[in-house]
Structure 1
């Protein structure tokens, strides 16, 4: 009995296990089968988007610059001589017309005294000639007046004699005598007139020559005064004496440089840029000069336009502010690269020679080709877009036509 009971129990267990296995098998297979038809679920990628704005693409650049005075002059000596004294030190500020150094004035003073004496002598000669002319012309003028009076008397007697001869009151011999007296008086008057004119011409020429001598002496005196003034070498404009090239006791020639003068009230910054960047900065553009942790406004004033041996174009900007000349600084400028739709550079994708972005339209990511107009490295300006939202950042798994969900 016991054995049979055990046998029945074992069979019951085996049967139950078989039923369990039969019930579980079809349901598991049904749950693992793929869903098809209306019950299927589409793949959706979550993305963020940006709306590209239209505008200029600009970038800030920085380059090194050197500060120098806008006006600088190598002042030369205008006279020759030994340097007597240098009145200022290098770095001293001087006013316009201030004496910077003096040359030995002994020779210039002597030349000035000689010129003064020469002028006095010429003036004395002119005055004496004027008096002499007045004294010599007086008698000649009186002689002419007397001869003219005699001529008038002789002419009147001759006319009266002609009338008397026609009336038979005098003989032919008497008329002939009156005519001869008239002719003699006329010749005497002509001779006196010629003598006076000749004396006047001679006196006029002599006086003109003496006047020229006086004028020449005056010019020489003015030159001597300038030569004496040139022994003091002065600053042609207000500024700083940057460098002195002569020392007391040295001999300098006229035209030899004596000192360098710089007008530090206005400075300019010189810097070099590639030709394409220089062309994008027209004259009058505003830039910034950075020195000592401070920023100073500057304005572009000059451009060489032609690249130098280093293939760079030299530009000059006038700087506003009190800065030391000769130091190095930084010039910060803004370049306008392009005009278009502005995007982060990371929104672009490339495939071969094609550049594109993904725009979101009707819940789909659409691959849209664009052309890059300008690139700063972090931002780009493109054309080929309107106002559609652009995917950024771009998921690595995103493909053209994928269903997307825009999230904030």
Structure 2
């Protein structure tokens, strides 16, 4: 048997050969841009969509004809900004009629007030004469009855004025509501109204699903994504992950779990997570497909910690 001695150079070559796979793996991870997972963590993945939680279909409170639409789909609007202008001749006539009724009620009150003043003067005179036995009891009762009737007429005239004021407020409110304004700042997502259309009142439009437009708040968008329900013990609000949108595959961004759905899907065996977005790419839109991933602790999964 021939025994060949190993010198220092041979030992060094063997050590380098042993370390080569580890170094190569580290370099591959760095070049790909993906973090090298620690031994006690695993990756949870899922898919979902960008969602705008604050979204509303805008309707007209009253019936009318569309005479102006100063916005278009995609426009950014501020709260209170005019979206659609309607016209209703009946509403204008109702206000004119209410104004006329108020003028008439004011005149009637003035006339009744004069009659009450006259009745009051007459009553005082009859009372004075009666105290001197210069007027009969019948005359005194008649004067009192006249004064009471005049007083009631004044009160009735005041009530007529109140009713006229209410009618004016109702008519003005209806006219004001024909100018449809944005309930909050957002983006016009869909425009269903056209100039010249006759739209129904809200109660009928909702039943017929005929909204003027759809407004969404693009400043508070989130991602709703489904992950396997077996991961429920490993996730909790506040955990950070990463999302990639199909529309922006080269622009991954950070996300944070903000809510975990209280009910799992029996059909899919998944649980829905809602994520807040951290510096997402410009131009994202609701309903864009998203893929998410989260680095979870294996020790947390095994411990069954579901704290939220």
Q: TM-score range by the shorter chain?
A: 0.7 to 0.9
Could you report, residue by residue, the CA deviation over 1:244-295 in whole angstroms, capped at 9, with x for unpaired residues? 1122222110112110001111111011123332354233443333343231
Superposed CA offset, 1:6-41 (max 9, x none): xxxxxxxxxxxxxxxxxxxxxxxxxxxxxxxxxxxx
SS in 1 for 2:159: helix
Note if 1:143 corresponds to 2:143: no
The DSSP-based 3-state class of the residue aligned with 2:219 is strand
Answer yes or no: is the 8 Å Cα contact 1:72–1:263 preserved in 2. yes
CA distance in 1, matches of 2:140, 2:240: 86
2-structure distance, mates of 1:305, 1:337: 23
Q: CA RMSD in A?
A: 2.7
Alignment match, 2:290: 329
Structure 1, unaligned stretches of length 5 or more? Answer: 1-54, 151-184, 341-372, 375-408
Give the conservation status (yes or no) of the 8 Å contact 1:267–1:320.
no
Q: 1:320-341: CA deviations, max 9, x gaps?
A: 335512212222223333269x
Rounded to whole Å, the distance in 2 between the matches of 1:127 and 1:334 is 82
Shift of 1:64: 1.5
Q: Where is the strand percentage greater, Structure 1 or Structure 2?
A: 1
Q: Distance in 2 between matches of 1:240 and 1:221?
A: 35
User: Of residues 184, 199, 203 in structure 2, which corresponds to 1:237?
Assistant: 184
The one of 94, 102, 105 equivalent to 1:119 is 102
Q: Is 1:338 aligned to 2:292, yes or no?
A: no
Please list every run of 5 or more consecutive structure 2 residues that lacks an aligned counterpart in the other structure: 1-37, 206-210, 304-308
Partner of 1:74: 57
CA 1:332/1:194 → structure 2, altered by over 3 Å: closer, same or farther?
farther
What is the alpha-carbon distance in structure 2 between the residues aligned to residue 247 and residue 120 of structure 1? 39
Please say if residues 57 and 339 of structure 1, whose CA atoms lie closer than 8 Å, have aligned partners that are also in contact. no
Aligned position for 1:27:
none
Question: Which of residues 84, 99, 113 in structure 1 aligns to 2:67?
Answer: 84
TM-aligned CA distance change 1:139 to 1:339, over 3 Å: closer
- Do 1:96 and 1:236's aligned partners in 2 also have CA atoms closer than 8 Å? yes
Kindly tell me the number of residue pairs found equivalent between the two proteins.
Answer: 252
Query: Which residue matches 1:102?
Result: 85
Question: How much does 1:66 deviate?
Answer: 0.7
The residue aligned with 2:231 is 277
